[in-house]
A and B are shown apart, each in its own frame.
Chain A
Amino acid sequence: MSEAEEITVNVEFSGGMERLMKDQASSIQAKLPEPATIRDLIIHVRDNVVEDKKELFSKNDTVCPGILVIINGSDWEVEDSEDTVLSNKDTVLFISTLHGG
């Protein structure tokens, strides 16, 4: 695959989400073939980055309800949620809304 066909996305995890990831990473870089949507990124993270308990991150090829997705500082629901198209160097943040305190 040539470079032109691939995009790099900065992915961040917070609010407890990072504890589900390999090495409890709070940020990673994901390379995705172009064109890529948020749904493609979620599947990539689920299959390659989530350590175990994948069902706590994703179901039905999207994130579990209650996980906020922020693309370049704004709520994905402002755009087209799963179908939002990603560009090279975008930053996507997943925030878990854990219960309790």
Chain B
Amino acid sequence: MPRQCEICNNARAILRRPKTGQRICNECFFYVFETEIHNTIVDNKLFKPGDRVGIGASGGKDSTVLAYVMKTLNNRYNYGLDLYLLSVDEGISGYRDDSLETVKRNKEQYGLPLLIVSYEQLYGWSMDSIVEAVGRKNNCTFCGVFRRQALDRGALMLDLDHIVTGHNADDVAETILMNLFRGDLPRLGRCTEIVTAGDGYIGRSKPFKYAYEKEIVMYAYLKHLDYFSTECTYSPNAYRGYAREFLKDLEFVRPSAILDIIHSGEAMQVASDVQLPTLAHCERCGYISSNALCKACILLEGLERGVPKLGIAKSARHAQELLANESAMKSAGKAVEPVHFELLRGKAQAMREQRQMKEQQQECHDCTATSCAFACDDDATGLCSSSKETRRCACADSNAETNAAAS
């Protein structure tokens, strides 16, 4: 005997919500899932009309569903957002190249512009070449540090106001547990925030912060969304793996555990005597950093000098020793000087000004000119001055012809 939906009492239930235990139907599920994301967006004032918002897109389930839902909600509730897909190509063959194919299909399916930035292009080193140099042990550190910065760089290239990522409730709960288990208090404080500052200019947020992974996967399944599912070919993050398994076991016994952990994390306050690092800017590339050089620049320096452990070294002294021992020989010379963030910001600012100027101008009725000449259209004919001139000449010509015919 099929069970009825507990919301509409009308259709067959197809899903049991982990959040509430309710058994609900297809249509009610789509409605509540989308509405909850909408509420998260509105309650946290994530965007304002006219914002240019990049969706961090990997081709995986979370970002694919995020792109679809953002597009749906933007249309339904008139957020007035310009949406973009922003992908990072770490250069991992057999993994990211395939997942980016999915993103390229999403671009067509959702009609959203796509920008792909690659490690190779930004830093001169792909993950494949980094793994060749550092082995499989610490490569996730490189990948994580470079990805964070790559998204900010891509955002500036598109002059975005905001980046959204597909991190879901399970991810957030997992991260809270990991930071708790590691005693990483600065991160524990930050990881529960729905909006983080990014490089200090572009905000990042997680509209799926309260969305269960199970519901995201069910949504993708029921909507037949095209997503990519392969684990990264390089060594997975073992510590996160344990936290994840532990969390999934908890969820099995008590489905609300995930939201409960998030609520606990949000309520925790880092004691005031815990010293949090003060943030400044990297001397070399201008990225936000608590040290003179940001982590990405140190990692790149290590790669270049053939001491890849440089950025992973525990202490500054250890780093000095590493550099002294290896006599700081320059290696492959792969690294490209990362573009300074001030330059990127300057370019973004220039793009913005150009757009604003364009918005103030209208197109001439006759030609496609949008020059400021049109701003002097005091007789409101909707013509630029050169088109006016052309019309006047044409008019004079035809007058001349008429006169000639008459005489």
Contact = CB atoms under 8 A, between A and B. Distances in A.
Interface string B213-249: 1100110010000001111100000001100110011
B63 interface: yes
Contacts of B230: 16, 19, 98
B59 interface: yes
Q: In which size bucket is the chain B interface?
A: 20 to 34
A64 B252 CA distance: 9
Contacts of A33: none
Interface stretch (A3-11, A42-50, A70-78): A70-78
Interface in A61-83: 64-66, 68, 70, 73-75, 77-79
A88 interface: no
Contact of A15 (B166, B229, B232): B229
A100 B251 contact: no
Contact of A100 (B3, B218, B232, B245): B232
B16 A101 contact: no
Contacts of A19: 230
Nearest to B15: A75
B58 interface: yes
B221 A95 contact: yes
A87 interface: no
Contacts of B59: 101
Given A64-B248, A78-B13, A101 B99 contact: yes
Contact of A65 (B217, B241, B252): B252
The list of the 10 closest CB pairs from A to B, nearest first, reads A101-B60, A101-B58, A77-B16, A65-B248, A74-B14, A65-B252, A16-B229, A66-B248, A75-B15, A15-B229
Interface of B: 3, 12-16, 23, 58-63, 99, 166, 171, 213-214, 217-218, 221, 228-232, 240-241, 244-245, 248-249, 251-252
Interface of A: 14-16, 19, 64-66, 68, 70, 73-75, 77-79, 95-101
